[in-house]
Amino acid sequence: MKLTFLGLPGAGKGTQSAIVSEKLGIPTIATGRILREAISEGTEVGLEAKTFVESGLLVPDLIIIGILNERLAKSDCKNGFILDGVPRTVAQAVSLEADGILLDAVISLEISDDEILERMTGRRVCPNCGAVYHLRDNPSKMGHHCELCGHILAQRSDDLPETVKVRMEAYHEKTKPLKAFYSQRGLLRQIQANAPIAEVTKAIGDALGIKL
């Protein structure tokens, strides 16, 4: 199974890809997470990407394509993978196809701009393992610590309302056109994302014809 998740920042891509990844036993590749790690480690890619990520702009396609190709070449991807937040431009999608990487389905998580802002203020993430929580809707059973690894949770610096606004604009301008791109290929599955997490997961399973 080769899947990708599309949707506004905060639509639930990371949350749902973690669930599906565990159920199907295939890895999730989240370019946002790879970039945040590269930035905190100060690698060359991190230095190139830093100002884009911190201001909420998309990182240039060539950097993303390089990161993705390197990750997809690893052996754990041979039985399938879930992409979270990539491709995010038509150029990235065309590059995947040109490299012979053909997706089986594209899940678009549908939610309005207004519903996103509350999700973003409540989001907490684990800087160590990448787990995602929400203060009210999906709290960690260990309070301010990660349920999975015990690390202290943090708020993402790009979840400030001004930066979220830039990221939403980037989605509407650069990423939304991918819905038409994948619809033409018969791959688009649109899922209402303003429902409890377990209901969204069930709808994804129904759309893919599998039990999740």
Chain residues in the site for ligand AMP (CB under 6 A): 9, 31-32, 35, 52-53, 56-59, 64, 85-86, 88, 92, 158, 167
What token pair was written down for 153? 């949770």
Q: Please, what is the minimum distance in Å from the beta carbon of residue 11 to ligand ADP?
A: 4
Query: Which residues make beta-bridge pairs with 133?
Result: 124
Q: With CB under 6 A as the contact rule, which of the stretches 62-70, 96-104, 129-137, 178-186 interacts with ligand ADP?
A: 129-137
N-terminal to C-terminal alpha carbon distance within the chain: 13
Query: Nearest to residue 36, comparing CAs of 22, 49, 27, 19?
Result: 49
CA distance 24 to 26: 6
116 with 56: CB under 8 angstroms?
no
Beta strands in 47-205 (DSSP E): 81-84, 105-110, 123-125, 132-134, 188-192
Residue 66 binding ligand ADP, by CB under 6 A: no
Residue 123 binding ligand ADP, by CB under 6 A: yes
**Residues annotated as catalytic (active site), given as ranges:** 13, 88, 123, 156, 167
CA distance 19 to 200: 11
Choose the one of ligand AMP, ligand ADP, none that binds residue 175, judging by a C-beta under 5 to 8 angstroms depending on kind.
Answer: none
CA distance 105 to 92: 16
Residue 12 binding ligand ADP, by CB under 6 A: yes
Nearer to ligand AMP, 9 or 12 (CB): 9
CA distance 71 to 203: 28
Choose the one of ligand AMP, ligand ADP, none that binds residue 167, judging by a C-beta under 5 to 8 angstroms depending on kind.
Answer: ligand AMP
Choose the one of ligand ADP, ligand AMP, none that binds residue 52, judging by a C-beta under 5 to 8 angstroms depending on kind.
Answer: ligand AMP
Nearer to ligand AMP, 82 or 158 (CB): 158
Q: Which residues are at the interface with ligand ADP (CB under 6 A)?
A: 7, 9-15, 119, 122-123, 132-134, 137-138, 195-197, 200
